[in-house]
């Protein structure tokens, strides 16, 4: 059985990660003197060279922070603040807690720009951010990725149902807002279609006929194929799909986060469908007839998600990202 920290049985684990547990840990963490964390930074960074996953840690950090060492200092801009002045805001507090968890290891006088929330544009100065547009070069370098809003986005499941015992259907449950034309397009073409169980679970559905009751994770995991659609930025369900025995079905992503969606390979890590969803039924029919390919994709999904499970590794990647960011944005 795959390693995991979240179960899918509703009686043992709720659909989402526990907010109570998350905030309890955040409050307890805040009680740790930052000076203690700063005293450990050098040893933590040095430990990377002794780890068997050294190359992966460095590659991930390099991808998340594309600012290049040796270049001229790039000022984070007038909106930047010092770590010591970074305090709990009234809104987007989960972003604060996630950023503060790693910022506390660094000199409190270092300056940084912080852009919480769903972001789809590249900032004009280097900023710490949750998501950014995917770019084949370094044109998105000012958007430096941190692991933010992780309690919502990084949900892992223990899927006890083998792929071959699941339903042949494609399932989707989520909000379909007017500002999300890509989701509306899928529903216009495929709502109520054969072997597709899709539903709009928002409080005010875009169309009344699309309104559908929510599904638990366990109910969604009874299906072989799970649709992963980007929302305001990245698709929030992609991580738990990858940790399951089901397969993600999606267009090629346009945005990426700490999960490095831009490095996922269609046909290897997920089933790719056209951006206009014109080939959904054709693609599903093909993979239903090729369980061997489904098995290979599922194995690749598991290999990818497993890189994000180890909390020590996650901390080390985060520290390397910030080390580079501060070395380039602060003289």
Q: What is the DSSP string of 145-203?
A: E---SHHHH----B--S-GGGSEEEEEEEE---TT-HHHHHHHHHHTT-TTEEEEE-SS
Whether residues 116 and 148 share a domain: the answer is: yes
> Is 123 inside a domain boundary?
yes
Whether residues 314 and 269 share a domain: the answer is: no
Look up residue 150 and give its two tokens.
């992780």
User: Which band of pLDDT confidence, cut at 50, 70 and 90, is reported for residue 145?
Assistant: very high
Q: What is the pLDDT of residue 14?
A: 35
User: Which band of pLDDT confidence, cut at 50, 70 and 90, is reported for residue 200?
Assistant: very high
Whether residues 314 and 301 share a domain: the answer is: no
Whether residues 287 and 216 share a domain: the answer is: yes
Whether residues 173 and 97 share a domain: the answer is: no
Q: What is the CATH number of the domain that holds 277?
A: 3.40.50.2000
Q: What's the mean pLDDT in 283-307?
A: 98
Q: What is the pLDDT of residue 90?
A: 63
Whether residues 205 and 298 share a domain: the answer is: yes
Whether residues 53 and 143 share a domain: the answer is: yes
Whether residues 194 and 291 share a domain: the answer is: yes
Domain containing residue 295: 163-306
Q: What's the mean pLDDT in 58-81?
A: 87
> Is 134 inside a domain boundary?
yes
Whether residues 135 and 229 share a domain: the answer is: no
Q: What is the pLDDT of residue 30?
A: 86
- Torsion sign (Cα): 82, 84, 85, 89: positive
Q: Does 106 or 69 have the greater pLDDT score?
A: 106
> Is 10 inside a domain boundary?
no
Report the range of poorest mean pLDDT among 29-38, 57-66, 83-92, 290-299: 83-92
Whether residues 147 and 55 share a domain: the answer is: yes
User: Which band of pLDDT confidence, cut at 50, 70 and 90, is reported for residue 262?
Assistant: very high
Nearest-CA neighbor of 117 among 98, 140, 138, 92? 92
Q: What's the mean pLDDT in 204-215?
A: 92
Alpha helix positions (H), the chain: 19-30, 34-47, 54-64, 93-103, 150-153, 181-190, 217-220, 238-242, 280-288, 291-306, 311-329
* Whether pLDDT at 4 is above 50: no
Whether residues 301 and 168 share a domain: the answer is: yes
Whether residues 100 and 130 share a domain: the answer is: yes
Tally Cβ neighbours within 10 Å of residue 302. Answer: 14
311-329 helix and 34-47 helix, angle to the nearest 10 degrees = 100
User: How many structural domains compose the chain?
Assistant: 2
> Is 46 inside a domain boundary?
yes
> Is 14 inside a domain boundary?
no
Q: Which range scores top for mean pLDDT: 14-18, 20-24, 194-198? A: 194-198
> Is 295 inside a domain boundary?
yes
Q: What is the pLDDT of residue 73?
A: 64
* Whether pLDDT at 6 is above 50: no
> Is 127 inside a domain boundary?
yes
Q: What is the pTM of this model?
A: 0.90
Nearest-CA neighbor of 162 among 222, 228, 102, 97? 222
> Is 19 inside a domain boundary?
no
Q: What's the mean pLDDT in 105-117?
A: 96
């Amino acid at each position: 059985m795959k390693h995991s920290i979240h179960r899918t049985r509703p009686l043992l684990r709720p659909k989402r990660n526990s907010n109570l547990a998350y905030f309890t840990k955040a409050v307890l963490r805040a009680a740790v003197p930052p000076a203690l964390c700063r005293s450990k930074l050098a040893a933590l960074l040095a430990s990377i060279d002794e780890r068997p996953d050294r190359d992966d840690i460095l590659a991930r950090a390099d991808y998340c922070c594309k600012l290049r060492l040796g270049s001229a200092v790039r000022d984070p801009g007038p909106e930047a603040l010092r770590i010591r002045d970074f305090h709990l805001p009234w809104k987007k507090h989960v972003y604060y807690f996630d950023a503060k968890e790693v910022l506390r290891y660094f000199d409190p006088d270092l300056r940084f720009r912080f852009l919480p929330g769903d972001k789809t544009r590249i900032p004009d100065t280097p900023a710490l951010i949750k998501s950014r547009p995917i770019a084949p070069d370094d044109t998105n370098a000012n958007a430096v990725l941190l692991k933010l809003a992780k309690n919502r986005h990084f949900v892992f499941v223990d899927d006890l149902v083998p792929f071959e015992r699941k339903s042949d259907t494609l399932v989707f449950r989520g909000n379909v807002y007017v500002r999300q034309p890509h989701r509306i397009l899928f529903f216009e073409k495929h709502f109520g279609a054969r072997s597709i169980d899709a539903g709009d679970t928002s409080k005010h559905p875009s169309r009344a006929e699309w309104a559908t009751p929510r599904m638990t994770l366990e109910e969604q995991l009874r299906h072989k194929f799970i649709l992963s659609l980007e929302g305001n930025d990245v698709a929030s369900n992609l991580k738990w799909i990858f940790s399951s025995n089901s397969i993600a079905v999606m267009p090629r992503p346009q945005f990426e986060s700490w999960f490095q969606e831009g490095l996922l390979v269609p046909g290897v890590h997920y089933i790719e469908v056209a951006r206009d969803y014109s080939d959904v039924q054709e693609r599903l029919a093909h993979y239903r007839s090729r369980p061997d390919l489904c098995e290979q994709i599922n194995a690749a999904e598991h290999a990818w998600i497993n890189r994000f499970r180890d909390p020590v590794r996650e901390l080390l990647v985060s520290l390397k990202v910030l080390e580079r960011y501060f070395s380039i944005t602060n003289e």
